[in-house]
């Protein structure tokens, strides 16, 4: 698994010299096909990836499906009320078991009617389960390692990742009073963008672009000049997006929140691809995964406190999020095109409050990938 030479050199330099002047990575970092296999394995398969919200499966038997890195997955709640992430591949001849979302007491393969309980244990294998030497216990669906964090479900596909808690030490204190676990989904969507995954993740998590790109949407609420970076951790970075004095703020808030917390959105990035803007009574998040060198999938949603649904604002919040996502998409497609120019080069990053999160991410990438051989 080789990295582009200039990207490898930049990451190695960053790992060896912490006090470098903050600069962007070489264009190959965002477009070279040699990056994809290493990133996919080292960051995503061996790391923690968000697959949605626990409130999307509120009752035992509720499930939804998705695919990540050619792995069909089922997210379900079992009879004991626990959420699990299972392989969506029958142990007989490899058919996918389910599609979409729904509710069921068992998962039955449409090909040969093998069926499994909500924990993935094989219940029935017609005309096979009585065969000599057949052992149902050997036909359980793989059950992946997961961690629930404030209502979000994270999965580790390899089963070898360091504990999720060890990656986010210090982060909980910034969002615990917002109580996102009490919020619920407005309606998750998946979108494919012709863009490198890092471009979108970095864009979501830097405030430098807010005022110029989101002049009529986000700027009146959280202008660039009011961004305030927080210290990064092993597996995360973030910043406070303080509200403009003219912004009225949110009224339906949790009583645990401080006056300061009521007047800002907490921007968090749990590496590699989970980004969220956690506000006093709602949040917008994305789980970003690569599907190609310059292609990605984003599973995104708005979650909100129950009072927001009662006031009829929840769908409005999602449409607002959709509007600034589209603004970002338009700009980022231009960025991706520009990165292919023979004149594209490394640039200087803005001060820490505005692009320090990007610099933090580069340090994370250096620690993860700089030890890999270059091309």
pLDDT digits (tens, 9 = 90+) for 197-229: 999 999 999 999 999 999 999 999 999 999 999
Q: What is the pLDDT of residues 70-94, one digit of tens each?
A: 999 999 999 999 999 999 999 999 9
363 Rama sector, left if φ>0, alpha if ψ -120 to 50, beta otherwise = alpha
- Where helices occur in 137-287 by DSSP H, the ranges are 164-167, 172-175, 197-204, 210-213, 259-262
Exposed/middle/buried for residue 275 (C-beta within 10 Å: 0-12, 13-18, 19+): buried
- Give the Cα separation of 367 and 294 in Å (integer): 23
Give pLDDT, residue 276: 98
Mean pLDDT, the chain, whole residue set? 95
Q: What is the pLDDT of residues 5-15, one digit of tens each?
A: 999 999 999 99
Give pLDDT, residue 272: 98
Domains and CATH numbers, the chain: 5-48+179-369 (3.90.380.10), 52-156 (2.102.10.10)
- Give the Cα separation of 372 and 242 in Å (integer): 39
Residue 340 has pLDDT above 70, yes or no: yes
Residue 132 has pLDDT above 90, yes or no: no
Give pLDDT, residue 163: 98
Give pLDDT, residue 373: 53
Report the half-sphere exposure of 41 (CA within 13 A, side-chain side). Answer: 9
Give pLDDT, residue 371: 74
- Where helices occur in the chain by DSSP H, the ranges are 5-16, 35-39, 164-167, 172-175, 197-204, 210-213, 259-262, 306-310, 314-338, 352-369
- How many CB atoms sit inside 10 A of residue 195's CB? 23
């Amino acid at each position: 698994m080789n990295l582009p030479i200039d990207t490898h050199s930049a990451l190695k330099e960053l790992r060896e010299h912490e006090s470098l002047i903050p600069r962007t990575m070489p264009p190959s970092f965002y477009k070279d096909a040699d990056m994809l296999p290493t990133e996919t394995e080292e960051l995503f398969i061996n790391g923690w990836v968000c697959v949605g919200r626990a409130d999307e499966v509120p009752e035992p038997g509720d499930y939804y499906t998705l695919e990540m890195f050619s792995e069909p997955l089922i997210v379900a709640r079992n009879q004991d009320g626990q959420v699990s992430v299972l392989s969506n591949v029958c142990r007989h001849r490899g058919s996918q078991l389910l599609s979409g979302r729904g509710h069921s007491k068992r998962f039955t393969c449409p090909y040969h009617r093998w069926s499994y309980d909500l924990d993935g244990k094989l219940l029935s294998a017609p005309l096979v389960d009585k065969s000599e030497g057949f052992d149902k216990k050997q036909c359980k669906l793989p059950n992946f390692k997961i961690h629930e964090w404030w209502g979000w479900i994270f999965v580790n596909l390899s089963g070898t990742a360091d504990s999720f808690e060890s990656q986010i030490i210090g982060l909980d204190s910034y969002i615990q009073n917002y109580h996102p676990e009490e919020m619920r989904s407005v309606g998750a969507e998946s979108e494919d963008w012709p863009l490198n995954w890092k471009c979108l993740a970095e864009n979501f998590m830097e405030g430098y672009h807010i005022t110029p790109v989101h002049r009529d949407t986000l700027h009146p609420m959280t202008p660039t000049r009011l961004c305030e970076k927080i210290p990064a951790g092993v597996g995360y970075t973030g910043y406070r997006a303080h509200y403009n004095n003219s912004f009225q703020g949110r009224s339906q808030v949790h009583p645990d929140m401080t006056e300061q917390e009521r007047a800002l959105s907490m921007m968090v990035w749990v590496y590699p691809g989970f980004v969220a803007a956690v506000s006093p009574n709602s949040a917008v998040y994305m789980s970003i995964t690569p599907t190609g060198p310059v292609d990605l999938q984003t599973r995104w949603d708005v979650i909100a406190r129950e009072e927001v649904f009662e006031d009829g604002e929840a769908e409005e919040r999602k449409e607002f999020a959709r509007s600034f996502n589209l603004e970002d998409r338009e700009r980022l497609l231009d960025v991706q095109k520009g990165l292919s120019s023979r004149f594209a080069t490394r640039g200087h990053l803005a001060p820490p409050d505005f692009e320090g999160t990007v610099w933090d991410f580069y340090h994370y990438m250096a620690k993860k990938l700089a030890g890999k051989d270059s091309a």
